[in-house]
């Protein structure tokens, strides 16, 4: 069976999970422990980021490389159209989504969690021991701001990320105004990239991620609750309902959800 080395909260992992579900491929999730687990990942793949897909004895790192690998090895339900214009648009949107929504979404979420200790605690996977949750909840906002500054997330950086994300959501809403998917009548890699990378702006409504049910459908109020972007999130809900498999334990007739284990 395919194995996905991942983080439940990772947007790039979510992009791959959407693609695997769309293609109807069974897979096992392997939750990589930040730090120690990444050392093991480095040993296996020569790099330390998630997602990594394991197919037999092959390891494929990077969500874009994984998407392209899957399209070659499992060509049913193709992700990249053959028509030149649609192919070009798909590749362009995918690359843009990785760079814009992916990286800026993280910065914007950082601003939200540094201001809200409950959100900080509730973002941890449900399997996180209470002792760790309580520890994280107790980290003062000031310290997080300092940590944020340490990795380049100054208030100005966050402000400009949010302004860019607003423009991104406006553009996506316009693109979806008269077509069901971003590049036309069929879903492509562009749709799965945008949908997966946008989870930190607003968590999916349904039971798709191993996160406390209370935060489903919640996100950065300035984006998630803005009526101008509602058509975008409605489109994403529809894409999830059509293609994303719910978590195990959630009974949906005819759908098998992936199994999951953790590596340390």
Ligand X SMILES: N[C@@H](CCC(=O)N[C@@H](CS)C(=O)NCC(=O)O)C(=O)O
Kindly identify the residues of this chain, within the stretch 85-144, that bind ligand X according to CB under 6 A. Answer: 98
Which of 3, 8, 11, 133: binder of ligand X (CB under 6 A)? 11
61 vs 169 by CB, closer to ligand X: 61
- Give the helix/strand (H/E) hosting 94: helix 84-97
5 makes contact with ligand X (CB under 6 A): no
Q: How far apart are CA 166 and CA 162, in angstroms?
A: 6
Exposed (0-12), middle (13-18) or buried (19+): which is 71, by Cβ within 10 Å? middle
Judged by CB under 6 A, the stretch of 5-13, 20-28, 141-149, 162-170 that binds ligand X is 5-13
Which of 19, 20, 51, 79: binder of ligand X (CB under 6 A)? 51
81 vs 196 by CB, closer to ligand X: 196
Q: How far apart are CA 113 and CA 198, in angstroms?
A: 16
63 makes contact with ligand X (CB under 6 A): yes
Which phi and psi (to 5°) does residue 128 adopt?
A: -65, 130
Q: How far apart are CA 259 and CA 65, in angstroms?
A: 23
Task: Say whether the peptide bond before residue 51 is cis (omega within 30 degrees of 0).
Answer: yes
Residues 27, 60: contact at Cβ < 8 Å?
no
15 vs 176 by CB, closer to ligand X: 15
Which of 62, 94, 168, 191: binder of ligand X (CB under 6 A)? 62
Return residues touching ligand X (CB under 6 A): 7, 10-12, 38, 48-51, 62-64, 98
């Amino acid at each position: 069976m395919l194995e996905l080395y991942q983080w439940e909260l990772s947007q790039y992992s979510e992009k791959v999970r959407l693609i695997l579900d769309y293609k109807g491929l069974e897979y096992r999730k392997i939750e990589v422990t930040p730090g120690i687990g990444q050392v093991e990942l480095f040993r296996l793949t020569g790099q330390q980021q998630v997602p990594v897909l394991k197919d037999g004895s092959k390891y494929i790192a990077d969500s874009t490389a994984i998407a392209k690998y899957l399209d070659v090895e499992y060509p049913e339900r193709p992700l990249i159209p053959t028509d030149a214009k649609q192919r070009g648009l798909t590749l362009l949107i995918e690359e843009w989504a990785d760079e814009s929504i992916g990286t800026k979404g993280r910065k914007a979420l950082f601003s939200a969690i540094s201001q809200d200790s409950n959100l900080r605690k509730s973002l941890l996977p449900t399997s996180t021991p209470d002792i760790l949750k309580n520890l994280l909840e107790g980290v003062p906002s000031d310290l997080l701001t300092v940590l944020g500054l340490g990795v380049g997330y100054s208030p100005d950086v966050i402000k400009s990320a949010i302004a860019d994300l607003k423009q991104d959501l406006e553009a996506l809403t316009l693109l979806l105004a008269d077509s069901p998917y971003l590049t036309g009548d069929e879903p492509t890699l562009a749709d799965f990239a945008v949908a997966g990378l946008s989870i930190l702006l607003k968590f999916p409504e349904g039971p798709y991620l191993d996160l406390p049910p209370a935060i489903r459908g919640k996100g950065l109020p300035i984006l998630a609750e803005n009526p101008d972007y509602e058509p975008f999130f409605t489109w994403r809900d529809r894409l999830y309902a059509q293609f994303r498999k719910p978590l195990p334990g959630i009974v949906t007739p005819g759908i098998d959800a992936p199994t999951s284990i953790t590596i340390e």
